[in-house]
Amino acid sequence: MRILALGAAAAGLLALSACNDTPAENAAENVEAAAENEADLYEEMAENTTNEAIEEAFENQAEAVEETGENQAEAIEEGGEANGM
């Protein structure tokens, strides 16, 4: 249920933030939001495990997903700027 609420909140925020953004900015924000949602899932799984090694693996995966999302969003924005979007 929490996952559904996070997804709905993210969709609402994206809709509000999309008002004056370029298509590249909108796409970048969507990519970053999706990565943050996925990272949140890994962090939640880390909190729910009792195995420290698995917890650390989930936390590392969350960080990697978030960093990848940020890098992809940055690349999209830079590509949009280069193309005049």
Q: Which pLDDT value is given to residue 22?
A: 87
Residue 4 included in any domain: no
Check residue 14 and give its pLDDT.
Answer: 58
What does the CA dihedral 55, 28, 12, 1 come to, rounded to 10 degrees?
A: -20
In this prediction, residue 32 carries a pLDDT of 96
23-48 and 2-17 helices cross at what angle (nearest 10)? 160
Residue 39 within any structural domain of the chain = yes
Q: For residue 29, is it within any domain?
A: yes
- For the chain, how many structural domains are there in total? 1
> Does 45 score more than 90 pLDDT?
yes
For the chain, percent of residues with pLDDT exceeding 90: 62
Is residue 64 a part of any domain in this protein? yes
**13, part of any domain:** no
Closest by CA to 40, choosing from 5, 75, 76, is 5
